[in-house]
Amino acid sequence: MICYAKLVTESAGSAAVSESLNTDNVVMNSLSVETSLSGNRVTSEIRSDSLNTLLSTLDDLLRCQITSESMIDNG
């Protein structure tokens, strides 16, 4: 079974946020993470053969995005 999540967020600093999350892009047999930018929207798509891995990866992406936005706002 393949689990899938799509996270779409809007941010004033979306280009910088997307660039910071692009380092987490990965394609393996059991996990795929792809982040893209469209206008002010950052979209991350995660696919995994494990629900636990999917949820952990989604949590990691959210934490990285929050940190990135915080650094942009305070930078």
Tokens at residue 45, please?
């798509």
Q: What is the pLDDT of residues 14-64, one digit of tens each?
A: 888 888 887 767 788 899 999 999 999 999 999 999 999 999 999 999 999
The 3-state DSSP class for residue 36 equals strand
Look up residue 75 and give its DSSP letter.
-
Q: What pLDDT is stored for residue 73 in this prediction?
A: 79
Number of other residues whose CB lies within 10 A of the CB of residue 68: 19
Tokens at residue 37, please?
């930018």
Alpha carbons 57 and 65: distance in angstroms, whole number: 12
Q: What pLDDT is stored for residue 55 in this prediction?
A: 96
Number of other residues whose CB lies within 10 A of the CB of residue 67: 12
Q: What pLDDT is stored for residue 75 in this prediction?
A: 66
- At 50, give phi and psi (nearest 5°): -135, 125
Domains plus CATH for the chain? Answer: 3-74 (3.30.310.50)
